[in-house]
Amino acid sequence: MSLQRELRPGVALNLGYFRTWYGNFQVNDNAATTAADYDPFCVTLPATDPRLPGAGQQRCGFFDIKPSLFGRVDNLRTLASNYGRRTEVYNGVDVTMTARFAQGAQFSGGLSMGRTVSDACDLAAKLPEALFGTDAAFNGTSAGTAALLTGVAGSWSSMLACKVTPPWSAGTQAKFMLVYPLPWDLQFSAIYQNFTGVPVTATWAVNNGIIANSLGRDLSACGTNCVPTSAFGNVELISPGTTYEDRQQSVDLRFTRVFRVGRASLRPSLDLSNILNAGSIYAANSGFGSQWLIPYEISGGRLARINVQLEF
């Protein structure tokens, strides 16, 4: 649903509300097991890194299959609705403005706010194995952006993460563009963008000795003659939709000069990208440890570029 209103000649305000819901989710069911075949356990979050939300506190909702059923796999790919309720709904609002002024000046921009709420708690209660990130089946078969799982393949997400409700700020973007004519056929334009940072995740490889204290037994993967470090369980320490890197912002400028020769025109331009030299993080190490959150992909640095466009 959208509404457009002319505030004055050349100035228009646009309002839009959007709601999208998804269905026909799929899931893998290990038909060789039932929900009762998975034993719950908790872990105490490491207190060594203050950046970790809830450091030093206990996090529960993880599972381990009973040792007698370890390795028994009979996966059935089917609709999630056969086991429980799964919803994913997006709500968003866009507010934009466009304006044209005398002598060719232009302005456009606005805010986009939205979030996707995903709820699979009913499904996860009946299929605990769905919390194990073996693939993306439970993580994003819809066209939506929210995900129940955020970990690497082979990691357990907590039952606490079965409902993902990101803050509105996580889906808020601001974009503005200004075009302004200068003397001598020069034209100046600027673009400003501000949007949320990438989600922060933490996958912790917990050894058997730590998990066994809560589980009441050794991990099923441990086998016989088990010692504390002979098996590990990967667990997700941060619920999705709760923690993000710093917001990303960029400012780009362009100066253009127009030369006209008969019916042809030549447009050389100077582009200045990321003039703030922002080093926004695009991807970082998600494995919890000494290398956690060390970036391995950041935005490009300040860049100057010359372009020439010929029209005839």
Closest to 53 in 3D by CA, of 210, 280, 240: 240
pLDDT at 141 over 50: no
pLDDT at 146 over 70: no
> CA 162: distance to chain centroid?
16
pLDDT at 147 over 90: no
The backbone torsions φ and ψ at residue 111, rounded to the nearest 5 degrees and listed phi first, read -120, 145
Predicted confidence band of residue 135 (pLDDT cuts 50, 70, 90): very low
Residues above pLDDT 70, as percent of the chain: 92
Task: Give the pLDDT of residue 255.
Answer: 95
> CA 45: distance to chain centroid?
23
Task: Output DSSP code: residue 296.
Answer: E
CB atoms within 10 A of CB 210: 16
Predicted confidence band of residue 269 (pLDDT cuts 50, 70, 90): very high
Residue count of the chain, please give it: 312
pLDDT tens digits, one per residue of 180-234: 998 888 899 999 999 999 999 999 999 888 999 999 988 888 877 777 666 788 8
Which whole-number Å values give the CA distances from 92 to 107, 176, 234, 258, 288, in the listed order?
23, 19, 35, 40, 33
On the CB side of 236, CA atoms within 13 Å amount to 27
Contact 14/42 with Cβ under 8 angstroms?
Answer: no
Return the domain boundaries, the chain: 2-311
What 3-state DSSP class applies to 170?
Answer: helix
| H helical segments located in the chain | 121-126, 208-215
pLDDT tens digits, one per residue of 81-124: 998 889 999 999 999 999 999 888 999 999 999 999 999 999 88
Whether the full predicted model's pTM is greater than 0.85, yes or no, is: no
Residue 269 CA to residue 307 CA, distance in Å, equals 5
Residues 246, 248, 250: CA angle, nearest 5 degrees: 150
Give 160's contacts (C-beta < 8 A, 6+ positions apart): 59, 60, 61, 239
